[in-house]
Amino acid sequence: MTFSYAWRLVMRNPQRTATYLFGLALAVGLFSGILFFVDVMAREMTATALAPIKLDIIAHATAPTVDAGAAAPVIAQQRGIAAAEAVTAADFASAVKVGGTHPSPAGRMFALQPSYFQTFDLLQISDGQFDPQGVMVSEAMAIAQGIQVGDALQLTFAGVAQPVTLPVAGIVNLDNADVLFTTATEAENALVADVVFVDSGWFQQQLQAPLAAQAANLQATPPPGSAVLDPQVHVRIDRSLLPADPTLAAQQTASLRRSVEAQFPGQLKAIDNLSNAFSAAKKDILSAKILFIFLGLPGVALAAYLAKFAAELFADTQRRELSLLRTRGATPLQISLIIAVASILLAIGGSVLGIGFGLVTLVVSAGAQAASALNPLAPGFDWGMFANSVGIAFLAGLVLTFLAAFVPSFGAMRREITQERRITRRVEAPPLWKRVYLDVILLVAAAAVLVVVQVNGGFKPSANEAASVQLSFYIFLAPFFAWVGLVLLTLRLVERGLGAAGAQLAGGFKAIFGEIGEVAGKSISRRAARVSAATAVIALTLSFGASLAIFQQTYRSEKQLVAQYIVGADIRLTPALNTPQTAEFATKLTVPGVTGATGVVRDTQALVGSEKNTVYGIDAPSFRQVAYLPDSFFVDGAAQQTIDAMTNRTTNYAPGSAKEVLDALASTPNGVIISVEQAEKYNILVGDPVLLRLYNRVTNQYTDVKATAVGLFVYFPTSAQDSDFILNRDFMTQRSGNSSMGYFLLKTDGKAATLADVTATLAGQFKNVMPVRIESTATVVKTESSSLTSLNLGGLGAMERLYTLLVTSVGLAIFLLAMINERQREFGAMRALGANLGQLRRFLFAEAATIGGLSLVIGFVVGVGLAYMLVMLLGVIFTIPAQSLAWPVAELALLAVLVVAGMAVSAYVSARHLARMRVVEALREL
Amino acid sequence: MAEPILQTIDLTRQYRVGRDMITALDRVDITLRRHEFVAIMGPSGCGKSTLLNLMGGLDQPTAGTVLLDGHNLAGYGEEQLAALRRSKMGFIFQRHDLFPVLTVRENVEFPLLLGGAPVDERRARAEQLLHTVGLADKADFLPEELSGGQQQRVGIARALANAPAILLADEPTGNLDSATAAEILAVLTELAHTHGLTLVMVTHDAESAARCDRIVRLKDGHLVAGNGRES
């Protein structure tokens, strides 16, 4: 019975139900969309954190006699394991190229199956190919001994009487193979430079027996990190089956590791190489969740308000329906139950629609990548995480319905029961928030949180390159409080402003819209509460969209700046110490796409006072053409403001310019520019003499150098590598006697395609000739992608842009239709008194223009303020604090155009609604 | 005998309610003459308000004709009807239907504003009418600040603002106590006389109807007395 009445209450007025469901679905949709987006991000972040790990589990034999070859196939059969390969490691005493003259250090031999190269993406063959009858050598070993494919290599093992000689079949790059040197007992990998790889069959025949005997007869414990004979099983986990949640994934991996050990009890000791990556991903995902949810929370609050507004639209109608039930004898309890059941029906409908809307929004805004991540048929789809998000979104729908539908309906019923007379909003007491000045309280609270964050050093940037950054929950309270406070303050001020500006509005609108504009102006002024509510919602939605757009643009631009700062320019090429290059080498680096190159000297052994410090030498003319040198990196070292700041240990330095500081360095041969941090530490001011001790690699002696401080900086390109003292390059090379460059910086047009081309060209040209490391702004961003600095906010932004568009356009339409609905009799009377449709259209358009225009202005002003606050608060995730906001002009313009278009369409739709209105029905008792 | 200003010929209005067709008015013939005061009476649901709405061009008949000054309203579009109401008709509603966000003076000015009258003319006309209905001192009040009787007097002033030829009043005293109702009726009839209007008033109240020149009686959508043709 109760259900039947509740069902009829819901179905009786489809317009009411649809409007309410729309508001609720919008709120739940955005919230669930954010949750799903976080799930997708979690999966991506976990996968990105794992990407550099090329070997998941290494199981070391506990004794040389363990047969790893027999264990590997058994382990490979285990569920969750994609592949397992037997590998044997054994240290050789020396390796000499036959006919060569270079003495050879000790190194390590790995015996493996030919399939190992396909199973694990660990060893890159840079020349030749694997041959069961030959040997492959590491690049470092090949460079050091001048070994080429076709040469012969003689290897000697301790305890084995005869050396073995093998033809060199290939050269192997070990850049990604540090994990090969993981030991079962040591916390850190014991890297070995000279490494050879042979076929496991050959090893079994030639070396297994004598080395096993040698291992069995060892008199003393071998030094840590060494391997006389170390049988291993290398395991690749099926990562597609791992849960997206890093905690669960870590548990599953640990469980796999234990089961590997359990299959061969006492024989294998397995090491899980993924655990560190999981814990880093876990921290980052937690921070990302906090970030996303707080960035999206205002939107959810707005949509909830819209749902409440939609529910209120039809409150009078519902009240009459409930009164009718009362007159037919329904008890208050029965009516309460009917309201409760109707609310539950609406909650279920709205939540289901909202979750569907959230999924669609995610797929529309985040694209195919998100769609595939949410494909329940995909292997490894995390049902637990998905169910969790759906459950939270559903719960949110219930809570919103309780607040938006049940509470107002229940209140209406109570008023009916107590026979209170229905009174108009105009004469109602101001709402509680207005009386207690909640808006002011919230803004003060936001300011207090900001101060607390400031005092606690929340804005200080992380010094560590690529470090995982933790965000505190309370940091986000400031923008949230500020945003809610601004919502309420906007309501208060717009209402007050419109109320006071009646004459001006009437005059202005009369000039624009004709005589009816005068009435519209007065109507808006005297209906300020309703207009301000609509304005506040649209404006705050717009501010939400604008602040996110500005924040994201700033975030993107900061990511690029940080990458340039870390690299120093677009590309950095670092030669190995054993293949030193002079400044002239820069000319060889100007391959197509490179517009400038400069060599930088680096002395990591230099002394300032008694402390070791890295000193750099730059060629100012070429350096300034190549390096990333924004003025914000420099301070005016001679200014009293800077001196005071250094004295008082504040950061209020006088702004400087890159040109002035580099000019000063270039014009002073023994000039040195110094980081403010070090200048403060050593109490150095511009003009002071600075005594440096440079290390001479030729004589292995220190040379005293007297330099003069000519400028100061806060950041310097590549100063993530502690570049605190910068000299002129010529001066430094002459005094130290060391003419080799630490690295070379290259300038390109900065485009991703050019960076990739130049990097590939340089790698092709030099990688097989000498060990070099090539980094670009693109690779730096990639390697940091597990940290917060590299979060992809694009998907979230797209989702929230779609939401902003929906709320601003549809929301405006709801408000206008609501205002018509409330004033059916008024519009009916206007028509009866002779108002034509053109006049009513202009009347409506004046209202829409007021709401839209005010929303645009307030929305953008508040949006910029919020964006500024977000950038200030989240500056902690950038290495370099953002100096200013980056403006996504096109996006903001699009947002404005969408609001204006939404306003025009809403006014048009409302006008059509009005045109269809039947005057007689409008004038009837509603 | 004065010439007819408004005539209805075989005027019929039917409504569809669910699957049923309800006939609210059935072939009603009435003639109203200039300066005539006519009361429309009958029990609830007999079609009084429907007849008034059709006379005022607020509703379209299912069949039959409404002639205003000899012109068939069926040939008028919505906008022409609006213009006709603005220039020739005044409406008084049972619930006053004043615009709550406009002051008393602005409410009275509204029909003139729609017609594009200059501000000074509007202002002078409104003040004159408010003086006439005894509310000159309430000109800057909002409707909610007035009593029910005062609001209806404003409604009367507003209905007269554009100097209509015919005044249509739908139970103008229906929401008022008897003393106030009598007062309002006195004002209404006096002003109608003063301005030489034709007044059509829907009422339940026999006393109010007694003040009129003629009483039209309706029952179940049919005209049972007072069609005006006999006089």
Give the pLDDT confidence of A177-197 residue by residue, as tens digits: 777 877 655 444 556 678 899
Look at A294-298, A632-636, A787-791, B85-89 and tell me which has the smallest mean pLDDT. Answer: A787-791
> Is the pLDDT at A781 greater than 70, yes or no?
no
Lowest mean pLDDT among A424-433, A461-470, A528-537, B193-202: A461-470
* Strands (E) located in A522-633: 571-575, 596-603, 607-608, 611-612, 615-618
Average of pLDDT values for B135-158?
A: 89
- For residue A834, the chain B residues in CB contact (below 8 A) are 82-87, 89, 111, 114-115, 162
For chain A, say whether B93 makes contact (Cβ under 8 Å): yes
Cβ–Cβ contact A834 with B under 8 A = yes
A685 contact partners, CB below 8 Å, separation of at least 6: A637, A643, A646, A679, A709
Chain A: closest CA distance from residue B183 (Å): 24
Alpha-carbon distance A523 to A876, whole Å?
Answer: 48
Of residues A609 and A118, more confidently modeled: A118
The answer to whether the CB of B88 falls within 8 A of the CB of A817 is no
Round to whole Å and give the CA distance between A361 and A25. 12
CB of A426 less than 8 A from some CB of B: yes
Min distance B114 CA to chain A CA atoms (Å): 6
Nearest-neighbour CA in chain A from B92: distance (Å): 10
Contact between chains at A426 and B144 (C-beta distance less than 8 A): yes
Comparing alpha-carbon positions, the chain A residue that sits nearest to B83 is A834
Q: What is the pLDDT of residue A185?
A: 56
Residue of chain A whose alpha carbon sits nearest to that of B167: A833
Least confident of A83-92, A583-592, A782-791, B164-173: A782-791
> How much is the pLDDT for A423?
39
- Residue A793: what pLDDT? 63
Q: Does B79 touch chain A (CB under 8 A)?
A: yes
Interatomic CA distance for residues A533 and A488, integer angstroms: 9
Is B82 an 8 Å CB contact of chain A? yes
A158 and A99 in a common domain: yes
Strand partners, A59: A233, A270
How many Å lie between the alpha carbon of A530 and the closest alpha carbon of chain B? 12
| Chain A from 495 to 534: CB within 8 A of any B CB | 515-516, 518-519, 522-523, 525-527
Return the pLDDT at A599: 93
Contact B99 A919 (CB under 8 A): no
ipTM: 0.90
Percent of chain A's residues with pLDDT above 70: 82
- Facing A515 at nearest CB: one of B97, B116, B158: B116
Question: B67 and chain A: CB distance < 8 Å anywhere?
Answer: no
By mean pLDDT, which of A154-163, A203-212, A427-436, B190-199 is the weakest?
A427-436
Contact with chain A for residue B101, Cβ under 8 A: yes
**What is the DSSP secondary-structure string of A532-559?**
HHHHHHHHHHHHHHHHHHHHHHHHHHHH
Is B131's Cβ below 8 Å from some Cβ in A? Answer: no
**Domain boundaries, given as residue ranges, for chain B:** 35-49+77-225
Sign for the CA dihedral angle at B15, B17, B20, B23 comes to: negative
Q: Are residues A315 and A199 in the same domain?
A: no
Integer Cα distance of A237 and A592 in angstroms: 42
CB contact under 8 A, A923 and B93: yes
Whether residues A594 and A717 fall in one domain: yes
Of A5-19, A896-910, B3-17, B108-122, where does mean pLDDT reach its minimum?
A: A5-19
CA atoms of A404 and A409, how far apart (whole Å)? 9
Of B165, B172, B173, B157, nearest to B32 (Cα)? B165
* Predicted structure pTM score: 0.69
Domain ranges, residue A610: 571-747
Q: At A317, is the pLDDT very low, low, confident or very high (cuts 50, 70, 90)?
A: low
Nearest Cα of chain B lies from the Cα of A913 at a distance, in angstroms, of 15
Report, in this order, helix, strand and coil percent for chain A, each rounded to 5: 60, 15, 25
Banded model confidence at residue B181, pLDDT cuts 50, 70, 90:
confident
Position A337 in a domain:
yes
- The answer to whether residue A923 neighbours chain B at the CB level (below 8 Å) is yes
Q: To the nearest 10°, the Cα dihedral for A502, A505, A508, A511?
A: -80
B10 to chain A, closest Cα gap in Å: 21
Q: How far apart are CA B50 and CA B29, in angstroms?
A: 14
**How confident is residue A424, by pLDDT bands cut at 50, 70 and 90?**
very low
pLDDT given for residue A462 in this prediction: 39
Residue A853 lies in a domain: no
Taking CB atoms and an 8 Å cutoff, what residues of chain A touch B95?
825
Mutation test of the interface with chain B: which of A426, A427, A495, A515, choosing the one with the most B Cβ atoms within 10 A?
A515
Q: Are A231 and A82 part of one and the same domain? A: yes
Rounded to an integer, the average pLDDT of A882-899 is: 83
A527 neighbourhood in chain B, CB within 8 Å: 101
Query: Which chain B residues are Cβ-neighbours of A919 within 8 angstroms?
Result: 58-59
Q: What is the pLDDT of residues A808-839, one digit of tens each?
A: 777 767 777 777 777 788 888 888 888 888 88
In-domain check, residue A602: yes
DSSP state of A690: E
Residue A552 predicted with pLDDT over 50: yes
Of A274-283, A389-398, A439-448, which range is least confident?
Answer: A274-283
Q: What is the mean pLDDT of residues A380-393?
A: 77
Q: Is the pLDDT of residue B71 over 70?
A: yes
Of all residues in chain A, the percent with pLDDT exceeding 90 is 12
> Which residue has better confidence, A730 or A877?
A730
| Cβ of residue A706 closer than 8 Å to a chain B Cβ | no
- A692: part of which helix (H) or strand (E)? strand A689-696
Per residue in B101-146, pLDDT (tens digit) is 889 999 999 999 888 888 899 999 999 889 988 888 998 999 989 8
Could you tell me where the DSSP H helices lie in A377-514? Answer: 383-401, 407-417, 432-435, 438-455, 477-500, 502-513
In chain A, what residues touch B99 (CB-CB under 8 Å)?
519, 523, 826, 829-830
Query: Best mutation site among A498, A831, A833, A842 for testing chain B: the one with the most B CBs within 10 Å?
Result: A833
Asked if residue A889 is part of any domain, the answer here is: no
- With an 8 Å Cβ cutoff, are A426 and B114 in contact? no
**Judgement on whether residues A59 and A170 belong to the same structural domain of the protein:** yes
Would you say residue A360 lies in a domain? Answer: yes
Q: Which residues are within 8 A (CB) of B154 and not within 5 positions of it... i.e. 6 or more apart?
A: B96, B98, B104, B107, B108, B130, B133, B135, B143, B146
CB A229 within 8 A of CB A64: yes
Q: Token match 């559903």: residue? A: A394
Cα B38 to chain centroid, rounded: 11
Tally of domains in chain A: 3
Q: Name the B residues in 27-56 with CB < 8 Å from any A CB.
A: 53, 56
CA A533 from chain centre, in angstroms, equals 34
Q: Minimal Cα–Cα distance from A885 to chain B, Å?
A: 44
Q: Are residues A304 and A416 in the same domain?
A: yes
Q: What is the dihedral of CA A186, A191, A192, A195, to 10 degrees?
A: 100
Q: How confident is the model over A664-698, as pLDDT tens digits?
A: 999 999 999 999 888 888 888 889 999 988 877 55
Q: Say whether B82 and A831 touch across the interface (CB within 8 A).
A: yes
Residue of A nearest to B161 (CA): A833
| A924 located within any domain | no
The correct CATH number of B35-49+77-225 out of 3.40.50.360, 3.40.50.300, 3.40.120.10, 1.10.3720.10 is: 3.40.50.300
Q: What is the pLDDT of residue A420?
A: 41
Tell me what pLDDT residue A786 has: 42
Instruction: Provide the token pair at A393.
Output: 């979104």
Show which of residues 760-819 on chain A sit within 8 Å of chain B, judged by CB atoms. none
Q: Which pLDDT belongs to residue A779?
A: 74
Residue A544 placed within a domain: no
* B120 inside 8 A of chain A by CB: no
If you write DSSP's letter for every residue of A117-136 in order, what string do you get?
HHH-TT-EEEEE---TTSEE
Helices of type H across chain B: 48-55, 78-88, 104-114, 119-132, 148-160, 178-195, 206-210
B99/A829 touch (CB, cutoff 8 Å), yes or no: yes
A833 touches chain B (CB under 8 A): yes
Most A CBs within 10 A among B48, B91, B99, hence the mutation to make, goes to B99
Kindly list the residues from chain A whose CB atom is less than 8 angstroms away from the CB atom of residue B13. none
| Residue B228 in this model has a pLDDT that exceeds 70 | no
Reduced to 3 states (helix: H, G, I; strand: E, B; else coil), residue A666 is helix
CA B186 to chain centre: 16
Which residue in chain B has the smallest CA separation from A823?
B99
Examine the domain organization and report whether A26 and A98 are in the same domain: no
User: Which residues does residue A109 pair with via DSSP β-bridges, in sequence order?
Assistant: A90, A196
Query: What angle, rounded to 10 degrees, do the helices at B148-160 and B104-114 form?
Result: 20
Specify the pLDDT at position A711.
92
Task: Answer yes or no: do A259 and A111 share one domain.
Answer: yes
CA distance B221 to B11: 10
Of B85, B89, B113, the CB nearest to A519: B113
Beta-strand relationship, A634-635 and A611-612: unpaired
Q: Which of B101, B111, B113 sits opposite A526 (nearest CB)?
A: B101
Q: Is residue A78 part of a domain?
A: yes
CA pair distance A54, B42, nearest whole angstrom: 94
What are the CA-CA distances from residue A438 to residues A47, A183, A299, A495 (Å)?
44, 61, 20, 16
- Provide, as residue numbers in chain A, all residues whose Cβ is less than 8 Å from the Cβ of B91: 829, 832-833
Of B93, B101, B142, the CB nearest to A829: B93
Min distance B1 CA to chain A CA atoms (Å): 30
pLDDT at A124 over 60: yes
Cβ pair A923:B78 closer than 8 A: no
Instruction: Give the integer Cα–Cα distance in Å for A84 and A72.
Output: 5
Residue A612 has pLDDT above 80, yes or no: no
